[in-house]
Structure 1
Amino acid sequence: MKLFHLLLPVSVFLPLTLAAQTATPPTTPDPLILKMVGEVSAKNLEADIRKLVSFGTRHTLSDTKSKKRGIGASRRWVEEEFKKYSKASGGRLQVTQDTFTIKPDGRRINQPVLMANVMATLPGTDPTDTRVIIVSGHIDSRVSDVMNATADAPGANDDGSGTVAVMELARVMSKEKYPFTLVFVAVQGEEQGLYGSTHLAQRAKKEGWNLIAMLNNDIVGNSTGHDPEIKDATHLRVFSEGVPANETPEQAKLRRTLSNENDSPSRGLARYAQTVAKQYLPEHEVVLEYRPDRFLRGGDHTPFNQLGFTAVRFTEMNEDFTHQHQDLRTENGRAYGDTPEGVDYEYLRKNTGVNLSTMASLALAPAAPENVGVLTADLTNRTQLKWDAPKLGERPAGYYVLMRETSAPQWQKNFFVTDTKADLPYSKDNFIFGVVSVDAEGHESLPVLPNPVR
């Protein structure tokens, strides 16, 4: 990715020359990523949504045997589409339905249900690089009554939009090669209780996946909000947790000492996506939402956060709740229900591009630095940092030390070094620092914040 950091004018920033500094990697957009973003098709996205809607309902408790209606037919169709992409990729894309059984829960599951996540896995070219990225949308839909498994539930935007975005990402990205594994998945059971994503998160934890990022797309296709009426096709929200859900008492003590509750790994991923979008979709803005999800709500990234993984949620800027969880009807001249006519396919194309540029930028980047620390033994107005080179993948061409004021939402300045240490004429008391690995083409890892070391 050739990540570009905004260099904002701050009067206290001093000129800096580092002895280990060499030619800085390019910050121009990567032609390959630009090409892939350009291949995302609004026409394909619309056709795929209309096909999903044609199955009538995709309720988790709906028919699994019919070839034309219900969750079973829709899962098989997505699987077959993934197989088409696999053929185009030379068979590298591995397609499966990951099945699991959920017992009655006394809430939204009233009988044993065999569920399935439809997965397309693109293995990396480096067998020693264990990193994994997941992108997801949920295939199931619902109407007003969450237990109504027979009524038509189009689910065009919630979450047909997220599902077809994942499909389009798999179609475009599987044509290229990346050092490590990418997983494209349509999960089931979100509306009944995040069952598909919980199963996948637990599987990743049990099998020890080195999951560096999980991107959840839920309700990403509508550009017109209701109550109030707002038309906005240029903004996309990204939600990220602050304090990690699985924080230990020791980690909580360190966080309180450093006051770095705004720098969780998930929040770092959200900032990364925002910065990437500025470069690859310059007229489309990712808006940072400093909450794990919408007010008092949750999504398929939530189980991943709960198990300690770095995960975020993308959602349209202004929702129309007359199109979510609604029976198909007309009241006082307003149509209710989640139909294809409520989706802005050009807006969905751009949101899919945000996902693609984020995934591809990370997938082409070196692994993040390890054991990043800030020296605290001496009382000084300088900041001394040190770290270890990553053990996975190719060795980075160098590192960026990122810096911002403690009140700033985004990184403001960076310094390129080729060594695994840096001595900066800026006080560690006044700024927040991070370190990223970068290759010769400018692709950057996620940032790692330093811990105090003596």
Structure 2
Amino acid sequence: MRSLLLASAVALIAMPASAQPAPPGEVTALYDIATAASPDRIRADIQTLVDFGTRHTLSETQSDTRGIGAARRWIYDEFEQISADCGGCLEVIYVSDTISGERRIPDPTDVVSVLAIQRGTTDPNRFVMMSGDIDSRVTDPLNGTSDSPGANDNASGMAGAIEAARILSKYQFAGSIIYAGLSGEEQGLFGGEIVAAHALAQGWEIKGVLNNDMISNISGIDGVIDNTTARVFSEGTRFVETEQEARSRRFTGGEVDSPSRNLARYVKAQADQYMTNLNVMMVYRLDRFGRGGHHRPFNQVGIPGVRIMETHEHYDRQHQDLRTEDGVVYGDTMDGVDEDYAAKLTGLNMITLAGMAGAPPFPANVAIEGAVQPSAKMTWETPENAGNLAGYRVHWRLTTDPEWTRSRYIGNVNEWTFDNLVIDNYFFGVSAVAKDGSETPVVFPGPAGRF
């Protein structure tokens, strides 16, 4: 036995260093970022947005105290103040267009979103975005005059994006982060549509949109009170997939490995590593059954995006006139806000934003082969601006596993052979790892998984 142990030790010492590259460690700063959001600041920001009376897309725009115009100007000013505090690290802009002739916007209306852009140090054209919605509504979607507090839906998501900007603007990242307040969500997702078009026109490479829509309610219509779980919704296949790509996917797989789906897996993996007392439930749907959210317009133009939200909704507090009927109180007021939970979900967003922005460029042109062979071989390319790249990690899982279960750090190479892993039985992917340990989501081979 002693001889065997000695022989093993000698073998390990004699093994070339390149055969066992050491992976970078975990990103310890993310533990601090995960808990840095202030519940008090988030509640104060939600209250400020509620105090505008209504933020309906069709509401007042000239008043300084009421309506969506006042609300978006306040958000703009908050981002400007955050930028001043970090020495001008944020570029704050309005992105808008005029919408008319729509079922919920019949007359010409300016739909104006607010973006704060924190540019990356080495790869500034690569973005990850956190968004909340500025607008609110009551029962009648065309009612732009009645009080519509929209405390949870969706002042909570907007307050989370502002708080994330306050905290992450104190750090520097290789890639860029966008903190967004989107308008027109309740009228047909128009703000997201306009911003997505603007991003494409600017040539921005947005690798992920984190749509936060209702992140402060813990008491559900189902009677469950839960502040320890969050849902992440994501599409399974790319909406922009061509007929030829769909035909290829039918034979090679990827139905549940769109970039949006692997972004959702990444959100969960970040939570599992860097957060306590928060379980992420991945929901394999674009959004809630038959409903929509502001990540969808981005998906529809090929930009990966997911929806992050509470697990147990309370429908009496959504899209309701303020009233009491038969002893039931209706309306989206501050009574339904749990700021500690909102801070927790803001932390979830922040470690996702920081992880992706801190990561190297995503592996490009990932491909795999291995039909009727004993092993699968995967290849990829390293894009430009990869100065912070340490190397790559390969991943594999059984085709029925919902998450990536196995991985190996392989160093700075551009191909890997999975010896004696038959390609028929597994799904494979690759992620890029930075020198500080920040890592991209897993990229699935071929068009099906292309970020």
Query: Would you say same fold, with TM above 0.5?
Result: yes
Contact 1:437/1:444 (<8 A) preserved:
yes
Which residue does 2:93 correspond to in 1?
Answer: 96
Rounded to whole Å, the distance in 1 between the matches of 2:17 and 2:303 is 37
Which residue does 1:146 correspond to in 2?
Answer: 141
Answer yes or no: is 1:379 the counterpart of 2:377.
no
Instruction: Sort the Cα spacing of 1:372 and 1:99 in 2 relative to 1 into closer, same or farther, 3 A.
Output: closer
Contact 1:274/1:288 (<8 A) preserved:
yes
Cα deviation digits, residues 289-342 of structure 1 (max 9, x gap): 000000011111111001011111112101000000001111222211000110
Correspondent of 2:74 among 77, 84, 94: 77
Aligned residues: 431
SS of corresponding position for 1:444: coil
Contact 1:18/1:417 (<8 A) preserved:
no
Rounded to whole Å, the distance in 2 between the matches of 1:451 and 1:274 is 23
CA RMSD of aligned residues (A): 1.7
Q: Using the TM superposition, give the Cα deviation of residue 186 of structure 1 relative to its aligned residue in structure 2, in angstroms.
A: 0.5
Rounded to whole Å, the distance in 2 between the matches of 1:76 and 1:206 is 25
Instruction: Sort the Cα spacing of 1:420 and 1:229 in 2 relative to 1 into closer, same or farther, 3 A.
Output: same
Q: Which amino acid is the alignment partner of residue 244 of structure 2?
A: E
Answer yes or no: is 1:56 the counterpart of 2:53.
yes
Answer yes or no: is 1:120 the counterpart of 2:116.
yes
Q: Using the TM superposition, give the Cα deviation of residue 26 of structure 1 relative to its aligned residue in structure 2, in angstroms.
A: 4.1
Which residue does 1:355 correspond to in 2?
Answer: 349
Which residue does 2:285 correspond to in 1?
Answer: 291
Which residue does 1:164 correspond to in 2?
Answer: 159
Answer yes or no: is 1:22 the counterpart of 2:20.
yes
Rounded to whole Å, the distance in 1 between the matches of 2:46 and 2:285 is 29
Rounded to whole Å, the distance in 2 between the matches of 1:205 and 1:238 is 25
Which residue does 2:432 correspond to in 1?
Answer: 437
SS of corresponding position for 2:46: helix
Q: Using the TM superposition, give the Cα deviation of residue 110 of structure 1 relative to its aligned residue in structure 2, in angstroms.
A: 2.5
Contact 1:194/1:300 (<8 A) preserved:
yes
Instruction: Sort the Cα spacing of 1:129 and 1:56 in 2 relative to 1 into closer, same or farther, 3 A.
Output: closer
Which residue does 1:199 correspond to in 2?
Answer: 194
Contact 1:136/1:187 (<8 A) preserved:
yes
Which residue does 2:62 correspond to in 1?
Answer: 65
Answer yes or no: is 1:187 the counterpart of 2:182.
yes
Q: Using the TM superposition, give the Cα deviation of residue 388 of structure 1 relative to its aligned residue in structure 2, in angstroms.
A: 1.9
Contact 1:225/1:318 (<8 A) preserved:
yes
SS of corresponding position for 2:393: strand
Q: Using the TM superposition, give the Cα deviation of residue 384 of structure 1 relative to its aligned residue in structure 2, in angstroms.
A: 1.9
Contact 2:175/2:359 (<8 A) preserved:
no
Contact 2:95/2:194 (<8 A) preserved:
no
Answer yes or no: is 1:31 the counterpart of 2:25.
no
SS of corresponding position for 1:83: helix
Which residue does 2:204 correspond to in 1?
Answer: 209
Name structure 2 gaps, 5 residues minimum. 1-14
Rounded to whole Å, the distance in 1 between the matches of 2:64 and 2:198 is 29
Contact 2:130/2:211 (<8 A) preserved:
yes
Cα deviation digits, residues 258-315 of structure 1 (max 9, x gap): 1220000100000000000111212101111000000011111111001011111112
Answer yes or no: is 1:325 the counterpart of 2:323.
no
Rounded to whole Å, the distance in 2 between the matches of 1:379 and 1:305 is 35
Q: Using the TM superposition, give the Cα deviation of residue 391 of structure 1 relative to its aligned residue in structure 2, in angstroms.
A: 2.3
Answer yes or no: is 1:408 the counterpart of 2:401.
yes
Q: Using the TM superposition, give the Cα deviation of residue 56 of structure 1 relative to its aligned residue in structure 2, in angstroms.
A: 0.5
Structure 1 length-normalised TM: 0.92
Q: Which amino acid is the alignment partner of residue 88 of structure 1?
A: D
Q: Which amino acid is the alignment partner of residue 152 of structure 2?
A: N
Q: Which amino acid is the alignment partner of residue 332 of structure 1?
A: D
Contact 2:431/2:441 (<8 A) preserved:
yes
Of Structure 1 and Structure 2, which has the larger fraction of its residues in helix? 2
Contact 1:385/1:423 (<8 A) preserved:
yes
Q: Using the TM superposition, give the Cα deviation of residue 233 of structure 1 relative to its aligned residue in structure 2, in angstroms.
A: 0.7
Contact 1:129/1:392 (<8 A) preserved:
no
Contact 2:174/2:360 (<8 A) preserved:
no
Instruction: Sort the Cα spacing of 1:374 and 1:98 in 2 relative to 1 into closer, same or farther, 3 A.
Output: closer
Correspondent of 1:259 among 253, 256, 274: 253
Answer yes or no: is 1:394 the counterpart of 2:390.
no
Structure 2 length-normalised TM: 0.92
Rounded to whole Å, the distance in 2 between the matches of 1:18 and 1:410 is 32
Answer yes or no: is 1:111 the counterpart of 2:107.
yes
Which residue does 2:360 correspond to in 1?
Answer: 366
Q: Which amino acid is the alignment partner of residue 282 of structure 2?
A: L
